[in-house]
């Protein structure tokens, strides 16, 4: 079949669904009790189900292809990025001619050209651009993101959508993520199972090197690169802000780090490593993307058709030494700011300042809120924006929290990047 006829045809080729129909034509020993085998479930999958894919990068490309070949025919995709030449080694829907174009648009066109009858609707922009009505139209959502902030926003949005009086408002979220040879896939049923925010403390902290090691006794190429970016850049460049996307800035760091490495007989400083260290990039592995995207799409198929029990609720892959995987049920947190109903208990010294509390909220593993604003039932403690209110509340930064909030009192934490608030119950020591 020519590419032109493939792009315009709405017919299915003979035997297209032969293997999938083996699953959908009759129940099996692990079939969900709600499964109704036959034409009804096949019609829903191929003509009624509407699915949203967030991200059209390494995971997203694989997810889109898998969904189209599984039988989903109404797919939407959101991505705010454009294609870079470095994407081409693993994001296989893109070609050299596509560099600079929106990922969502190019991925959608490629899938529709190669898989007849599938409609992929792209949106080049941010997930925050869309309102609740947009997300309500989908049967389920799959995230193939590389951003924790975007995952948190999407998770909170879907939890907030749930109306107990309307079962259709519950949109299952399937989240996939990779980190080198490691990866995970999970199924989140908003308000029912553990949500993304519940597992925030499982995220790896970015690697940090002691300043004394960087400055005096470097042993690794990463130490030399950190020395160049953390110590030498401000010394030489002054107040000039480093742009980690600027090739000239990366080039300067690379040359300075390479000279430092030569001085200490350290090998391994390269351009790509320099970029990876300063941008905290973990190399993406195509095979990991393929496995995790397959796991995500398998769960989407099971949820859409009820043909088998879906994952409960967390799958992990570790491929650093051999191939090892396991599943477990991650439990809900009662004090989760998104899906829990209780305030988070926080204990600290009565001498801690408001500025110290803000630093704690940024760094604490199970909170991790950037640029938090704080308020109590009686007053605004500190607001990051707008500028007038930030200036008005700035004097409170030097005050002790105990001067503003009584022992056992509550503090509400908000951030412009997250569509939820966190309640803290404060206890002093």
DSSP string, 115-175: STT-EEEEEES-GGGS-HHHHHT-SEEEE--S-HHHHHHHHHHHHHH-BTTBGGG---EEE
- Based on the fold, state whether residues 216 and 119 are members of the same structural domain: no
- pLDDT computed for residue 195 by the predictor: 93
- Based on the fold, state whether residues 79 and 182 are members of the same structural domain: yes
Domain presence at residue 367: yes
Q: Say what the pTM is.
A: 0.78
Question: Which residues does 161 contact at the CB level (< 8 Å), separation at least 6?
Answer: 132, 135, 136, 169, 170, 171, 190
With both helix axes pointing from N to C terminus, report the angle between 271-278 and 247-263 in degrees, rounded to the nearest 10: 110
Residues of the chain with pLDDT under 50: 1-9
Domain presence at residue 11: yes
Is 212 designated active site? yes
- Based on the fold, state whether residues 353 and 261 are members of the same structural domain: no
Sign of CA dihedral 126, 132, 135, 141: positive
Domain presence at residue 337: no
Rg (CA), the chain: 25
CATH of the domain at 33: 3.40.50.720
CATH of the domain at 407: 3.10.290.20
Q: How many CB atoms lie within 10 A of CB 136?
A: 13
Could you give the 3-state DSSP secondary structure of residue 374? strand
Among residues 198, 212, 336, 339, the one annotated as catalytic is: 212
Domain presence at residue 336: no
| Nearest alpha-carbon partner for 183 in 320, 79, 86, 276 | 320
- Based on the fold, state whether residues 40 and 117 are members of the same structural domain: yes
- pLDDT computed for residue 331 by the predictor: 92
Domain presence at residue 130: yes
- Domain carrying residue 384: 342-428
- pLDDT computed for residue 74 by the predictor: 96
Which neighbouring-strand residues pair with 346? 426
How remote is the C-alpha of 175 from its chain's centroid?
Answer: 8
- Based on the fold, state whether residues 199 and 255 are members of the same structural domain: no
- Based on the fold, state whether residues 250 and 294 are members of the same structural domain: no
- pLDDT computed for residue 363 by the predictor: 80
Domain presence at residue 333: no
- Based on the fold, state whether residues 266 and 289 are members of the same structural domain: no
CA distance 307 to 193: 20
CA distance 74 to 45: 9
CATH of the domain at 223: 1.10.10.520
- Based on the fold, state whether residues 374 and 301 are members of the same structural domain: no
- Based on the fold, state whether residues 27 and 118 are members of the same structural domain: yes
- pLDDT computed for residue 11 by the predictor: 64
Give the total number of structural domains in the chain: 3
- Based on the fold, state whether residues 317 and 416 are members of the same structural domain: no
- pLDDT computed for residue 208 by the predictor: 64
- Based on the fold, state whether residues 222 and 87 are members of the same structural domain: no
- pLDDT computed for residue 10 by the predictor: 53
- pLDDT computed for residue 7 by the predictor: 38
- Based on the fold, state whether residues 167 and 288 are members of the same structural domain: yes
Domain presence at residue 53: yes
| Upper half-sphere CA count for residue 135 (Cβ side, 13 Å) | 24
Are the C-beta atoms of residues 201 and 188 closer than 8 Å to each other?
no
How would you list the strands of the sheet with 314-318, edge to edge?
119-124, 74-79, 51-54, 140-143, 173-179, 182-188, 314-318, 324-328
CA distance 231 to 379: 40
CA distance 183 to 292: 6
Domain presence at residue 335: no
Could you give the 3-state DSSP secondary structure of residue 406? coil
CA distances 177 to 55, 121, 288, 290, 295, Å, are 11, 23, 9, 11, 11
Buried b / exposed e over 56-76, threshold 16 CB at 10 Å, is bbbbbbbbbbbbbbbbbbbbb
């Amino acid at each position: 079949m020519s590419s032109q006829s493939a792009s315009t045809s709405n017919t299915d080729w003979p035997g297209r669904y032969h293997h999938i129909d083996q699953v959908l034509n009759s129940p099996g020993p692990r079939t969900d009790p709600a499964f109704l085998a036959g034409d009804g479930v096949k019609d829903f999958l191929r003509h009624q189900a509407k699915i949203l894919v967030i991200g059209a990068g390494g995971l997203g490309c694989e997810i889109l292809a898998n969904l189209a070949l599984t039988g989903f025919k109404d797919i939407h995709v959101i991505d705010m990025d454009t294609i870079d030449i470095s994407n081409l080694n693993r994001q296989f829907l893109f070609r050299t001619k596509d560099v600079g174009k929106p990922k969502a648009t190019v991925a959608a066109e490629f899938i529709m050209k190669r898989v007849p009858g599938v409609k992929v609707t792209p949106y080049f922009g941010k997930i925050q651009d869309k309102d609740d009505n947009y997300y309500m139209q989908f049967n389920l959502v799959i995230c193939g993101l590389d951003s924790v902030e975007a995952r948190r926003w999407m998770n909170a949005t879907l939890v907030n959508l749930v109306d107990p009086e309307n079962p259709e408002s519950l949109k299952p979220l399937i989240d996939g993520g990779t980190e080198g040879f490691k990866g995970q896939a999970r199924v989140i049923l908003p308000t029912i199972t553990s949500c993304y925010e519940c597992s925030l403390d499982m995220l790896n902290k970015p690697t940090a090197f002691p300043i004394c090691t960087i400055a005096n006794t470097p042993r690794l190429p990463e130490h030399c690169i950190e020395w160049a970016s953390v110590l030498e850049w401000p010394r030489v460049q002054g107040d000039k802000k480093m742009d980690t996307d600027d090739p000239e800035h990366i080039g300067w760091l690379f040359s300075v780090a390479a000279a430092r490495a030569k001085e200490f007989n350290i090998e391994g400083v390269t351009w790509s490593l320099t970029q990876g260290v300063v941008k905290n990039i973990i190399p993406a592995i195509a095979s990991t993307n393929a496995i995790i995207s397959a796991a995500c799409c398998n769960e989407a198929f099971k949820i859409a058709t009820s043909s088998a029990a879906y994952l409960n609720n967390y799958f992990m892959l570790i491929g650093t030494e051999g191939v090892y995987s396991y599943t477990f049920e991650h439990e809900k947190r009662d004090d989760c700011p998104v899906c829990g109903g209780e305030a988070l208990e926080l204990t600290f010294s009565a001498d801690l300042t408001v500025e110290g509390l803000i630093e704690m909220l940024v760094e604490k593993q199970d909170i991790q809120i950037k640029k938090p604003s704080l308020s109590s039932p009686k007053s605004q403690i500190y607001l990051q924006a707008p500028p007038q209110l930030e200036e008005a509340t700035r004097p409170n930064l030097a005050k002790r929290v105990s001067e503003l909030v009584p022992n056992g009192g509550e503090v509400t934490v908000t951030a412009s990047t997250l569509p939820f608030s966190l309640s803290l119950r404060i206890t002093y020591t």
